[in-house]
């Protein structure tokens, strides 16, 4: 399978199974369009190019295409199928999302957690539950050494003493258990004072700072309890945190909705005010909010991604470097294929823990009783649902199996699939279109950066 | 080549026999979390 497209005047071809990316001139691009997806040349179609190009050039282009086929860089077959059973067998748990607080000091209108309480009672995780979650992770991680714990909410800074104690406890247990814990924290920044920043800088591998971009955009959605906007409080604190991170990871993360389809401006705004690690993404699982991206918005959003890609390229070239997470792609290394076909690992290697200790496939499923997988005290028990997640990969989802972006997207978000299609194996089509556009932009950027 | 330039040297199938050690970071792809498309993740073995 190949994917051929044009962006900003560049003809790009991705060979799906090998991951090889090629830039073609117009002749080669037109000649390639005379090949079927399985790599056979349709001679009849080829003759239709005779009025456009000389016979010699057409032949040259054909020869080059045939050479790439021989070198296994074009129209390659899928070499992975025999390995799939090996890669998708039952796996251990390696990451937990701890819902430290089902409470929040913001009232964002798109919040999937229903302003922090996940449609349940507002509650905080106790230290007892937190410690048991660490034990549960160690016990269920088999030989896996690197374990991850994400402090999430609601707003985790509303229960920060427990966060600290959990970190100390995990650090104490990791040595005897021969594990290496990595902590991350996702926060709305409101309570990010100096002491908390210092702790985060010392212990957290990554910190995610929520801010949507331009003040008027942010404040329209990310409101404080009294209804006022959060931008003025959040921006200086988030910038301080970013500056203090030094060599450690952070990123500022915004959400765009159908109210700001010109979200590229928000990305650039975040760069202008001084952030260098930026992620701005379409709202997720907000079907009934009126904020979700719709079919009729797709063209606008895709054009916006292309424009952003161009501006991003220009800025990076001209000394105004920043990173936009969705345009990052590693064509030389990157994750192995096994990871690429399984994606996020929700419900298998990644689980979410509620303040009470209940287990769910991921933070987005929390509170949906049919997805309750057990709890950290008695262990995992809902094996039917768990099986469904274990079996789910780009080969078992029919749409993904046919999709050229499968090794970059990895099958999308199960929570989105569930919310929009009632089935974790049927991807959310709007999410797919956006994902494919982002991959196209990322590949285009690569073609520019190598100066072909 | 005159008409086609290949921009990456190493390809997806290179490490197929060693794939799947599972030590890499998990990667939530949704808007609420770590945001990485899987393709930008690091492999822990390198
Ligand atoms: S873009 Fe959609 S169809 Fe393609 S791999 Fe991702 S989820 Fe599957
Ligand atoms: S199912 Fe969606 S929200 Fe949940 S971990 Fe996966 S990508 Fe993230």
Compute the average pLDDT of residues A34-49.
Answer: 96
What is the band of A335 on the pLDDT scale with cuts at 50, 70, 90?
A: confident
* Chain A residues with CB-CB distance to B22 below 8 A: 91-92, 94, 144, 338, 349
Q: Look at A86-100, A311-325, A358-372, A419-433 and tell me which has the smallest mean pLDDT.
A: A86-100
Element of type H or E holding A437: helix A429-449
Q: How far A410 CA sits from the closest chain B CA (Å)?
A: 7
pTM for the predicted model, two decimal places: 0.93
Top-confidence residue, B24 or A370? A370
Q: Is the model's pLDDT at A8 over the cut of 90?
A: yes
Find the mean pLDDT for residues A5-21: 97
Instruction: Give the integer Cα–Cα distance in Å for A183 and A168.
Output: 11
The closest alpha carbon to A391, from A88, A142, A66, belongs to: A88
**pLDDT tens by residue, A437-447:** 999 999 999 99
Distance of alpha carbon A78 from alpha carbon A75, whole angstroms: 9
DSSP conformational letter for A293: -
CB-based contact, A438 to chain B, within 8 Å: yes
A370/A319 Cα distance (integer angstroms): 51
Residue A334 contacts B, CB cutoff 8 Å: yes
Is A352 in a helix, a strand, or coil?
strand
Angle between helices A298-317 and A429-449 (to 10 degrees): 20
Does the bond joining A211 to the residue before it have cis omega, within 30 degrees of 0? no
- What DSSP designation does A365 have? G
pLDDT tens figures, A224-281: 999 999 999 999 999 999 999 998 999 999 999 999 999 999 999 999 999 999 999 9
pLDDT at A232: 97
pLDDT digits 0-9 by tens, A153-187: 889 999 999 999 999 999 999 999 999 999 999 99
Can you give the three-state secondary structure of A83-110, one letter per residue? HHHHHCCCCCCCEEEEECEECCCECCCC
ipTM: 0.88
Contacts of A420 (CB under 8 A, 6+ apart): A285, A287, A428, A429, A430
Confirm if A322 and A316 have CB atoms less than 8 A apart.
Answer: yes
**Residue A10 Cα distances to A89, A330, A357, angstroms:** 41, 20, 52
Res A283: pLDDT: 85
Q: What is the pLDDT of residue A451?
A: 63
| pLDDT above 70: residue A285 | no
Across A129-134, average pLDDT: 98
User: From the CA of B30, how many Å to the nearest CA of chain A?
Assistant: 6
- The pLDDT of residue A65: 98
Return the residue in A336, A345, A412, A427 with the most chain B beta carbons within 10 A, the one to mutate for interface testing: A336
Condensed to tens digits (0 to 9), the pLDDT of residues B1-46 reads 999 999 997 778 777 777 777 777 776 755 455 444 555 566 655 4
3-state secondary structure of A81: helix
Half-sphere exposure of residue A288, counting CA atoms within 13 Å on the CB side?
3
Residue of A nearest to B31 (CA): A281
Q: How many CB atoms lie within 10 A of CB A83?
A: 16
Nearest Cα residue in chain B from A208? B34
């Amino acid at each position: 399978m190949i994917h051929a497209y044009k962006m900003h005047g560049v003809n790009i071809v991705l060979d799906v199974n090998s991951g090889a990316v090629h830039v073609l001139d117009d002749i080669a691009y037109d000649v390639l369009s005379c090949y079927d997806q399985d790599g056979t040349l349709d001679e009849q179609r080829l003759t239709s190019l005779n009025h456009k190009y000389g016979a010699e050039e057409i032949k040259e282009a054909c020869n080059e295409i045939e050479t790439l086929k021989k070198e296994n860089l074009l129209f390659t077959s899928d070499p992975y199928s025999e390995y799939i059973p090996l890669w998708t067998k039952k796996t251990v748990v390696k990451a937990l999302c701890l819902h430290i607080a089902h409470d929040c000091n913001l009232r964002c209108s798109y919040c999937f957690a229903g302003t922090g309480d996940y449609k349940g009672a507002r509650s905080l995780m106790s230290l007892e539950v937190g410690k048991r979650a660490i034990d549960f992770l160690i016990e269920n991680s088999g030989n896996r050494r690197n374990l991850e714990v994400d402090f999430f909410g609601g707003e985790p800074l509303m229960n920060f003493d427990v966060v600290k104690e959990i970190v100390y406890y995990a650090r104490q247990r990791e040595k005897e258990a021969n594990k290496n814990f990595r902590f991350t924290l996702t926060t709305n920044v409101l309570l990010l004072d100096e002491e908390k920043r210092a702790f985060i800088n010392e212990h957290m591998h990554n910190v995610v700072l929520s801010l949507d971009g331009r003040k008027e955009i942010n404040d329209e959605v990310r409101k404080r309890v009294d209804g006022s906007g959060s931008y003025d409080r959040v921006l200086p604190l988030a910038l301080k945190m970013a500056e203090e991170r030094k060599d450690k990871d952070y990123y500022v993360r915004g959400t765009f909705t159908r109210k700001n389809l010109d979200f590229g401006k928000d990305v650039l705004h975040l760069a202008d005010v001084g952030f260098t690690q930026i992620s701005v993404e379409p709202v997720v699982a907000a079907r009934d909010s009126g904020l979700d991206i719709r079919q009729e918005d797709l063209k606008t959003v895709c054009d916006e991604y292309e424009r952003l890609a161009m501006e991003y390229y220009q800025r990076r070239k001209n000394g105004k470097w920043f990173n936009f997470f969705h345009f990052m792609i590693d064509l030389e290394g990157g994750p192995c294929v096994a990871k690429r076909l399984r994606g996020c690992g929700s419900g298998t290697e990644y689980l979410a823990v509620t303040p009470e200790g209940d287990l769910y496939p991921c933070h987005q499923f929390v509170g949906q009783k049919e997805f309750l997988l057990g709890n950290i005290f008695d262990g995992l028990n809902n094996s039917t649902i768990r099986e469904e997640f274990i079996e789910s990969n780009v080969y078992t989802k029919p749409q993904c199996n046919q999709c050229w972006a499968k090794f970059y997207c990895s099958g999308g978000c199960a929570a989105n699939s569930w919310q929009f299609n009632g089935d974790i194996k049927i991807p959310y089509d709007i999410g797919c279109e956006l994902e494919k556009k982002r991959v196209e932009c990322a590949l285009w950027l690569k073609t520019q950066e190598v100066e072909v | 080549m005159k008409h086609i330039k290949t921009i990456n040297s190493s390809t997806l199938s290179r490490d197929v026999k060693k794939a799947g050690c599972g030590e890499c970071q998990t990667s939530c792809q949704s808007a609420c979390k770590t945001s990485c498309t899987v393709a930008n993740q690091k492999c822990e073995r390198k």
